[in-house]
């Protein structure tokens, strides 16, 4: 990828001028950005304090903007609010009761629209239903649902009553779900009966059955049975039955700024995922503000973020950011290319989508399918295209720019993480962009690229990507594991270390080079090598396992596993399939290795640490570099 970036950047026109049609209030000239940025970093209290007063509705004003006691911080102290009030009630009070909040489309192009007024009623009924089951402020609720309006309403219902939601992506296996339910100590689980995938029904309820078998912790399972009819067991309740007699009024719980809003599990460098915890006010403000700024929102846009609410992108830019800005969002359940490769483009055309936010892996898939599919449709409504999850390679960037943006859209390449809650680096739509480079720090975010001693690197020198002071939507802790939280700020003393490598050019444009730790990015989703390795060694035939990431044309990165088998186990295709199946059941299909290699030994340091770097160099036929620490 490095070569192609260099080639494109050295060509004339490698800097793409901002489109001239970007004219909204959020639009920032470079000069405005520079002076605002300086103020936001030098006086964060005024910057964020003013914004919080202007952009959010409060039940009680905060009396201090930030309390920063390294490595912990709090924002908007003593403020009282409810995020669902900012996402729903205030818009209804402002005359938007009948504005559509979501347009849901399934694979058969069947649509359901829900207005802000209707959504609030649905949220309130579910919230009252949860209360009737004894769920109260501070309890955790695990949500394992299809991407439907009901899923969004269930998430918001938790926030309405102050319950902490923990959404688990529907692609995770029963084992992975069980681990997350147990870790979060969720007594209540909300699930859908199935989700649509390529014309078929992918079972979710049966996975919940397996995940909660003999798990006494779980008191109630609320099932959105959709169009299915099945018998429910003792502790199960049908979502529709639960809410049909509930009132459509539920006063929002008065939440402290720092009350937890949600936990979202993400991969770390150990076998156990970490429950990243976000709180209420800072997250509300930051997702509101970044939605507005990054996507150049005027207020009447049709917004489409193609992520799933099971990931942070869905939390921040399908649910909280767009709703807080009173936008109309599209959500599309199922495959992007089923029943036809132009499914997405027909949706853009039909609903006149203005902002389209997706992942590079999707762009590469569309690129492979060919430009004839978008060409069949009128995509002229689009004004801003977004990218997230991994570096977008210049080839994909250019294809996106030409075939989807029709050379007339801004492309915002947003770098951020589950932990950061919202965008940290991007280009604003009114800025010139450089394919392959995410861009500049967002307002209020002090980003730097440093060497191991903490000094800023010179232009184009590779370094560690750090954030130098807290921002409102940073994670507050890792659920039940404060030491894991502290590691973010301790690994490089004084700074938040994001775990990524980067370079910065002379104009301060940052290029993300990938992770510095043992995590992989499969289709833009973070998976820890340790997690996959522990799933592999859970197979009865596997004695030892090492996992590496390899470049992949569509997924960006795919998994190769190197395995030592138990004595007397035979390495053959059947064994490979059974091992892959094990990973599927332990973690989910996303983590299944593309390659399995049976080996007699693994390269290790003298202290016994597997040198994955050597496996990778060997597999790719590259120079292994320094091997002085290799034991054998």
Q: Which residues bind ligand PRX (CB under 6 A)?
A: 266, 312-313, 388-391, 413-418, 438, 498-500, 512, 515, 521, 525-526
Q: Closest separation between CB of residue 477 and ligand PRX, Å?
A: 16
Angle in degrees, CA 566, 518, 2, rounded to 5:
120
Kindly state the helix (H) or strand (E) to which residue 69 belongs, with its residue range.
Answer: strand 64-69
Handedness of CA 422, 410, 365, 555 (dihedral sign): negative
Q: Closest separation between CB of residue 318 and ligand PRX, Å?
A: 12
Q: Closest separation between CB of residue 525 and ligand PRX, Å?
A: 6
* Cβ nearer to ligand PRX, comparing 280 with 417: 417
* Cβ nearer to ligand PRX, comparing 444 with 499: 499
> Biggest alpha carbon distance in the chain?
72
CB contact at 8 A, 425 and 414: yes
Spatial separation of the C-alpha atoms in residues 164 and 263, rounded to whole Å: 7
Q: To 10 degrees, what angle do helices 280-294 and 44-55 make? A: 90
* Cβ nearer to ligand PRX, comparing 320 with 562: 320
* Cβ nearer to ligand PRX, comparing 65 with 512: 512
* Cβ nearer to ligand PRX, comparing 365 with 522: 522
Q: Closest separation between CB of residue 579 and ligand PRX, Å?
A: 25
* Cβ nearer to ligand PRX, comparing 161 with 591: 591
For residue 503, list its beta bridge partners.
511
Q: Closest separation between CB of residue 520 and ligand PRX, Å?
A: 10
* Cβ nearer to ligand PRX, comparing 212 with 503: 503
Q: Closest separation between CB of residue 381 and ligand PRX, Å?
A: 24
Spatial separation of the C-alpha atoms in residues 269 and 271, rounded to whole Å: 7
Q: Closest separation between CB of residue 64 and ligand PRX, Å?
A: 29
Nearest to 558 by CA among 531, 532, 596, 520: 520
* Cβ nearer to ligand PRX, comparing 128 with 417: 417
Handedness of CA 126, 132, 138, 144 (dihedral sign): negative
CB contact at 8 A, 73 and 279: no
Cis before 71 (ω within 30) = yes
Handedness of CA 330, 332, 336, 338 (dihedral sign): negative
Sheet bearing 236-238, strands edge to edge? 236-238, 220-224, 188-192, 140-144, 164-167, 260-266, 274-279, 477-478
Q: Closest separation between CB of residue 502 and ligand PRX, Å?
A: 9
* Cβ nearer to ligand PRX, comparing 248 with 516: 516
The torsion defined by the Cα of 157, 163, 164 and 167, in degrees rounded to 10, comes to -40
**Encoded tokens for 388:** 């997230």
Q: Closest separation between CB of residue 384 and ligand PRX, Å?
A: 15
Q: Closest separation between CB of residue 526 and ligand PRX, Å?
A: 4
> For the chain, how many residues are written?
632
* Cβ nearer to ligand PRX, comparing 82 with 173: 173
Q: Closest separation between CB of residue 418 and ligand PRX, Å?
A: 3
Sheet bearing 542-552, strands edge to edge? 542-552, 556-565, 595-598
* Cβ nearer to ligand PRX, comparing 512 with 547: 512
Nearest to 81 by CA among 46, 100, 55: 55
Check residue 631 and report its DSSP letter. -
Nearest to 207 by CA among 236, 179, 175: 175
């Amino acid at each position: 990828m490095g070569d192609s970036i260099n080639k494109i950047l050295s060509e004339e026109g490698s800097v793409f001028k901002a489109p001239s049609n970007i004219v909204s209030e959020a639009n920032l000239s470079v000069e405005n950005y520079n002076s605002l940025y300086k103020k936001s970093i030098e006086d964060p209290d005024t910057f964020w304090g003013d914004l919080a007063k202007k952009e959010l509705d409060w039940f009680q004003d905060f009396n201090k903007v930030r309390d920063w006691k390294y490595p912990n911080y709090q924002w908007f102290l003593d403020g009282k609010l409810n995020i669902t009030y900012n996402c729903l009630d205030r818009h209804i009070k402002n005359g938007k009761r009948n504005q559509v909040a979501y347009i849901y489309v399934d694979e058969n192009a069947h649509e359901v629209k829900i207005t802000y007024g209707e959504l609030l009623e649905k949220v309130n009924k579910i919230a009252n239903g949860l209360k009737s089951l004894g769920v109260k402020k501070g309890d955790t609720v695990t949500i394992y649902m299809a991407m439907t309006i009901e899923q969004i309403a269930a998430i918001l219902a938790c926030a309405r009553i102050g319950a902490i939601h923990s959404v688990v992506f529907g692609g995770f296996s029963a084992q992975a779900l069980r681990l997350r339910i147990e870790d979060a100590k969720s007594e209540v689980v909300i699930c859908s009966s199935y989700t649509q995938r390529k014309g078929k029904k992918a079972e979710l309820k049966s996975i919940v059955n397996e995940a909660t078998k003999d798990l006494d912790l779980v008191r109630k399972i609320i099932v959105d049975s959709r169009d299915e009819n099945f018998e429910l067991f003792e502790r199960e309740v049908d979502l529709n039955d639960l809410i049909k007699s509930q009132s459509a009024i539920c006063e929002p719980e008065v939440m402290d700024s720092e009350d937890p809003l949600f936990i979202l599990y993400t991969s770390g460098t150990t076998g156990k995922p970490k429950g990243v915890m976000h709180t209420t006010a800072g997250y509300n403000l930051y997702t509101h503000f970044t939605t507005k700024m990054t996507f150049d929102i005027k207020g009447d846009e049709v917004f489409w973020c193609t992520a799933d609410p099971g990931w942070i992108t869905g939390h921040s830019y399908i649910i909280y950011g767009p709703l807080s800005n009173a936008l109309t969002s599209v959500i599309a359940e199922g495959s992007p290319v089923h029943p036809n490769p132009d499914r997405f483009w027909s949706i853009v055309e039909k609903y006149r989508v203005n902002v389209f936010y997706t992942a590079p892996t999707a762009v590469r898939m569309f690129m492979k399918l060919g430009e004839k599919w978008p060409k069949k449709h009128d995509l002229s409504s689009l004004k801003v295209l977004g990218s997230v999850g991994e570096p977008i390679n210049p080839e994909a960037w250019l294809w996106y720019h030409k075939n989807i943006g029709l050379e007339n859209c801004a492309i915002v390449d947003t770098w951020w993480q589950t932990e950061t809650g919202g965008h940290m680096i991007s280009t604003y739509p009114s800025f010139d962009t450089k394919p392959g480079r995410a861009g500049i720090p967002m307002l209020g975010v002090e980003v730097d690229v440093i060497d191991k001693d903490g000094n800023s690197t010179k232009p184009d020198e590779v370094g560690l990507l750090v954030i130098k002071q807290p921002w409102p939507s940073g994670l507050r802790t890792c659920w039940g594991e404060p030491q894991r939280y502290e590691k973010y700020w301790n690994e490089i003393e004084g700074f938040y270390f994001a775990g990524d490598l980067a370079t910065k050019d002379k104009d301060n444009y940052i290029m993300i080079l990938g992770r510095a730790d043992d995590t992989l990015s499969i289709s833009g989703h973070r998976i820890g090598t340790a997690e996959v390795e522990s799933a592999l060694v859970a197979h009865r035939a596997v004695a030892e396992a090492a996992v590496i990431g390899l470049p992949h044309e569509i997924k960006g990165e795919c998994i190769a596993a190197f395995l030592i088998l138990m004595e007397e186990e035979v390495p053959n295709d059947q064994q490979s399939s059974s091992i892959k199946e094990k990973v599927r059941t332990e973690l989910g299909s996303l983590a299944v290795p593309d390659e399995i290699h049976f080996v007699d030994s693994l390269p290790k340091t003298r202290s016994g640490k597997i040198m994955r770097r050597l496996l990778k160099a060997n597999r790719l036929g590259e120079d292994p570099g320094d091997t002085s620490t290799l034991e054998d």
